[in-house]
Amino acid sequence: MKKLKIKSGTILGWAFSLPALIYMLVFIGYPIIQNIILSFKNVNVYTFANKDAQNFIGFDNYIELFTDPNSVLLNSIVKTLIFTVGSIFFQFIIGFALALLFNKKFPGCSFFRGVTMISWLLPVTVSGLLFKFMFAASGGIINQFLVTFGAINKPIEWLLNPVTATVAIIIANIWVGIPFNMMLILTGLTTIPNEVYESASIDGANGIQKLFRITIPMIKSAIMSVLTLGFVYTFKVFDLVWVMTKGGPVNSTQLVSTYSYRLSFEEFQFSKGASAANILFIILLFVGLFYIQLIKEDEVM
Amino acid sequence: MKKINIANETKKKILLSIVGFIVFAIFIFPLYWMIVTSLKTQVEIFSIPTPLWPENLTFKAYIDQFAASSDTFLGFRNSLIISLGAMVIATVLAIPASYGLARFRFKGTKVIILLFLITQMLPSTLVLTSLYIMFSGMHLLNKYLAPIIADATIGIPFSVIILRTYFLSIPKELDEAAKIDGCGHLRAFVRIMLPIARPGIIVAAVFSFMFAWGDLIYGITFITNPTMRPITSSIYNYVQQYQTLWNSTMAFGIIAISPVIIIFIFAQRYIVSGLTNGAVKA
């Protein structure tokens, strides 16, 4: 009888989960495998419609991506790392500071905290265009502020200079990502019982000591989640950069994701684009596995 | 002594409110700037220095957006079709899956949850080229179904994860009571669990809708017909065409974000819970 029950549970569990699983296997699992196969072929604008001309060419696409002087893959990996680390560093610090602030009770607190969320929810395309406008050389508000405060003498062409363009996309991405960091850290902060702080106060601990001795150690797992998830989500950013710079000027903001898109859908080198996407996938997979290890230790599953 | 404490507390709170407001004002400035720009004339936008509020307030950009070009209206309509379609597919599939994963402990539960977690981390570019070839073979390019199918794959894993946490929080006894009353599994699920899980289902549906609404990459890749483009894709193309028409672009942007703002105003509480549950817990 008991055995039967367990069995029926298994069947029911699978039955309920199966439709979603099949859907994901067909539209995510199968394309991933196809993408791997594609990366070992020579599908491009000439062979796209002609199946007979599509051959397996082994690792040629990958080798070319890494060694061909025209390929900017290595450069784009470096750019992606700079973009990701730059974004996360500031998103995390600002998000943390905002979480500490909004964790206190004061008039207007929940309103301010709530509305701050909006930057994370906006369609990234619109946020990207908004920042493109704010960084514009003529009519851009950022130049105007900097000139007014005397930081620069004349407007800069933010998005036309390799270094400032990188800075601009990072700043835009920081704005988008702050609420995510803030909310997750805020959730962590609410789990710390107030008594801990009270007894620390009695022992004469000051604010900074409390932050480093109590707050940070007690929400360590939330911090690790935010950082790894933030890394994964930032590493694959596409829309924001595509809208703001399209990878330019001269590939200076070309991320692996935008490069892969450009190869596939601007140059129609589908196989090469697939290879670049796979490289991005492998990097993310490592970080993703690290994250899963992390939450496994942390209960939940 | 106590009086001084209370006075200090009040002072501290006022100070915090001021700090909170300043931080808030800086943070929200880009959004303010978008609204202000959409209400300015082109001349004002390019005058040096550009005024920080519209001196000759005008709704011309909005009127132009709706009257002079059909891009805005069409884009809005297309996005609505695509996002609602993706939302329905994602929610209908995610509800039973999350229930199954929450209620029945069976071999494979962990693996399935892990798979859903991993799919959340995949870059769209990874499946984009293959999906393009697949849809091209199925003659789905330039059909709404192509971005609908692709956008639903973003909503499903997220929905499964937050709905599973939700179903886990509903006491198992409720199910069992229903079964004792003679309900089968399916009826217990439909009659008892679905109504109780409604708030969770709303969160999941709202997120699936917003993911699809915000998508750009699937929209620009699978739909090239200008009359069928979703709004993100049409605003992107609009800017390529009218580089410096910033007041119109910002008005377009405001229209594009309006559903998100409306959802946010009415469902803020749900969104916050969805973000924290869906992103961290597994």
Q: How far apart are CA A197 and CA A203, in angstroms?
A: 10
The whole-number average pLDDT for the span B9-16 is: 85
Supply angle C-alpha A278, A282, A283, rounded to 5: 120
Chain B residues whose beta carbon lies within 8 Å of the beta carbon of residue A147 = 49
Q: Give the lowest-confidence range in A14-18, A139-143, A200-204.
A: A200-204
Please give the C-alpha separations between residue A59 and each of A37, A41, A54, A147, B49, in angstroms, as whole numbers: 11, 9, 15, 52, 56
- Map tokens 């890394």 to a residue: A231
Tens-place pLDDT, residues B29-72: 999 999 999 998 888 888 877 888 887 788 888 888 777 667 78
Q: What angle do CA A117, A121, A122 make, to 5 degrees?
A: 120
A159 assigned to some structural domain: yes
Between B110 and A240, the more confident residue is: A240
Torsion of CA A26, A27, A29, A35, to 10 degrees: 120
Which of A230-239, B53-62, B202-211 has the least mean pLDDT? Answer: B53-62
**Phi, psi for B184 (deg, rounded to 5):** -75, 175
A191: pLDDT strictly greater than 90? no
Q: Which chain B residue has its CA at the smallest distance from A268's CA?
A: B129
Distance from the Cα of B8 to chain A's closest Cα (Å) equals 13
CB atoms within 10 A of CB B66: 14
Given this structure, which CATH class describes domain B64-280? mainly alpha
> Which candidate from B23, B189, B246 shows the least CB-CB separation from A139?
B246
- Please report how many Cα atoms fall inside a 13 Å half-sphere around the Cα of residue B26, on the Cβ side: 11
A84: which 2 tokens? 């990701």
The answer to whether B261 faces chain A, any CB pair under 8 Å, is yes
- What is the spatial distance between Cα B146 and Cα B139, in angstroms, rounded to a whole number? 9
- Say what the pLDDT of residue A263 is: 92
For every residue of chain B, which 3-state class applies, written as one string? CHHHHHHHHHHHHHHHHHHHHHHHHHHHHHHHHHHHHHCCCHHHHHCCCCCCCCCCCCCHHHHHHHHCCCHHHHHHHHHHHHHHHHHHHHHHHHHHHHHHHHHCCCCCHHHHHHHHHHHHCCCHHHHHHHHHHHHHHCCCCCCCHHHHHHHHHHHHHHHHHHHHHHHHHCCHHHHHHHHHCCCCHHHHHHHHHHHHCHHHHHHHHHHHHHHHHHCCHHHHHHCCCCCCCCHHHHHHHHHHHCCCCHHHHHHHHHHHHHHHHHHHHHHHHHHHHHHHHHHHCC
Q: Structural domain of residue A108, as residue ranges? A: 72-297
- pLDDT for position B277: 65
The answer to whether A108 touches B20, Cβ cutoff 8 Å, is yes
* Chain A, nearest residue to B185 by Cα: A12
Instruction: Compute CA B40 distance to the chain's CA centroid, rounded to the nearest angstrom.
Output: 28
Q: Write the residue in B113, B126, B216 that is nearest to A35 by C-beta.
A: B126
Q: Which 3-state string (H, E, C) describes chain A?
A: CHHHHHHHHHHHHHHHHHHHHHHHHHHHHHHHHHHHHHHCECCCCCCCCCHHHCCECCCHHHHHHHHCCCCCHHHHHHHHHHHHHHHHHHHHHHHHHHHHHHCCCCCCHHHHHHHHCHHHHCCHHHHHHHHHHHCCCCCCHHHHHHHHCCCCCCCCCHHHCHHHHHHHHHHHHHHHHHHHHHHHHHHHHCCCCHHHHHHHHHCCCCHHHHHHHHHHHHCHHHHHHHHHHHHHHHHCCCHHHHHHCCCCCCCCCCCHHHHHHHHHHCCCCHHHHHHHHHHHHHHHHHHHHHHHHHHHHCCCC
Closest-CA distance, B17 to chain A, in angstroms, reads 6
Token pair listed for A3: 């055995």
Residue A15 within any structural domain of the chain: no
- Rounded to an integer, what distance in angstroms lies between the CA atom of residue A65 and that of residue B69? 42
> Measured between CB atoms, which of B21, B50, B125 is closest to A238?
B125
CATH number of residue A104's parent domain: 1.10.3720.10
Put simply, the answer to whether A9 touches B104 (Cβ < 8 Å) is yes
Mean pLDDT of the A26-46 span:
91
How many residues does this entry show for chain B?
282
Q: Is A4 part of any domain?
A: no
Residue B13 Cα, gap to closest chain A Cα (Å): 5
pLDDT tens digits, residue range A55-88?
888 888 899 889 888 889 999 999 999 999 999 9
Question: Distance between CA atoms of B255 and B119, rounded to whole angstroms?
Answer: 31
Number of domains in chain A: 1
CA-closest candidate to residue B234, choices B118, B107, B116, B147? B147
Residue A35: which residues within 8 A CB-CB, separation 6 or more? A274, A277, A278, B126, B127, B129, B130
Which residue among A123, A225, A233 sits closest to B232, beta carbon to beta carbon?
Answer: A123
Cβ neighbourhood burial of B80 (10 Å; 0-12, 13-18, 19+): middle
CB contact under 8 A, B275 and A118: no
The model's pLDDT over B237-247, given as tens digits with 9 standing for 90+, comes to: 888 888 778 88
Tell me what pLDDT residue A273 has.
Answer: 92
Res. A298 pLDDT band, cuts 50 70 90? low
- List phi, psi (to 5°) of A157: -85, 80
ipTM: 0.89
Q: What is the pLDDT of residue A301?
A: 42
Nearest to B62 by CA among B48, B76, B49: B76
Measured CA to CA, the distance from residue A218 to residue A247 in angstroms comes to: 40
Q: Which of residues 185-204 of B touch A (CB under 8 A)?
A: 185, 189
Q: With bands split at pLDDT 50, 70 and 90, how would you rate the model's confidence at A198?
A: confident
Hey, is the C-beta of B33 within 8 angstroms of any chain A C-beta? yes
Asked if residue A43 is part of any domain, the answer here is: no
How close is the nearest chain A Cα to the Cα of B142, in Å? 15
Contacts of A142 in chain B (CB under 8 A): none
Q: Is the pLDDT of residue A222 over 50?
A: yes
* Overall average pLDDT of the A136-150 stretch: 87
Nearest CA among B64, B96, B118, B230 for reference residue B163: B96
In a domain, A11, yes or no: no
Q: Which of B273, B19, B34, B278 lies closest to A112 in space, CA to CA?
A: B19
Residues of chain B with CATH 1.10.3720.10: 64-280
Query: Rounded mean pLDDT of B73-89?
Result: 94
